[in-house]
Structure 1
Amino acid sequence: MIAAVLALLAIPLAAQDTMPPAPFAYNQLDDPALEAQASELMLTLRCLKCQSQSIADSDAPMAGDMRHQVRSRILAGESPQEIRAWLVARYGDYVSYNPTISATTWPLFAIPVLVILLVAGVLLRRLGKRSGAAEDAA
């Protein structure tokens, strides 16, 4: 019984990998200027499956689908900013290597600054105590 349920759950996953790639997943656009725009954008978008590669570098089927979306939307006349906004709305801020400051990402920018200020404060306090102790001893 459990094996039958697992087999039924695995069918959609296997079907996705056996589908042919989208037309623009591995084929460049005929117009070099449009392909340059698409390539530049694809280098700044993260593959959600690989997570350490851009969609331009990834061989994952999902990255191919995302490359197809980027190229087909560029071909339809959308700007790279509009395409990025659509992908961020669809997949979240994580898809972009260039995140914007928003309600969900501001801690990523604020916490390192706070840590640096805290460390600087501790160091200044300790160095101040040492120089004060040296003056008292003299």
Structure 2
Amino acid sequence: MQTTTKIVVTPDDIDQLGHVNYLKYILFLEKGVGEWYKQAGVNFKELRKQDLGTVVLKFDVSYHKEARLGDTLNVTTTLMNVGNKSFTVKQEIYNQDDILITESTKTFVMFNTATRKGVPVIQEIARHLKCAR
């Protein structure tokens, strides 16, 4: 499953160099993964009741082009891999001209918040890898 999240660059996103600050891209990517979770049917309120959540194990990001004030960005999020206790998403940010400006991969671990240990990836997430193939 792939989702696309639209973001319009605002003055608050711009740094002293006149382009989007690198930290803002991380927030844009988080919005994208949040939308992916939502569309996948992952309900974090319900997960918390079961002492479950996800934590980032690895985060890799590459910045290719700058985004500027007023740009319309599309953040695509795709589930790429599901292991026993972890899963990986690939994210790309394209500008309004469909030019790739940023890409990242994030590896998450399914986590029991009571025991503080990894647990098997829940079906609400794992089933979407089968849909992508």
Greater length-normalized contact order (CA 8 Å, ≥ 6 residues apart): 2
- The answer to whether TM tops 0.5 is no
TM-score (norm 2): 0.28
| TM-score normalised per structure 1 | 0.27
Q: Which structure carries more helix by proportion?
A: 1
Larger Rg: 1
* Structure with the larger strand share: 2
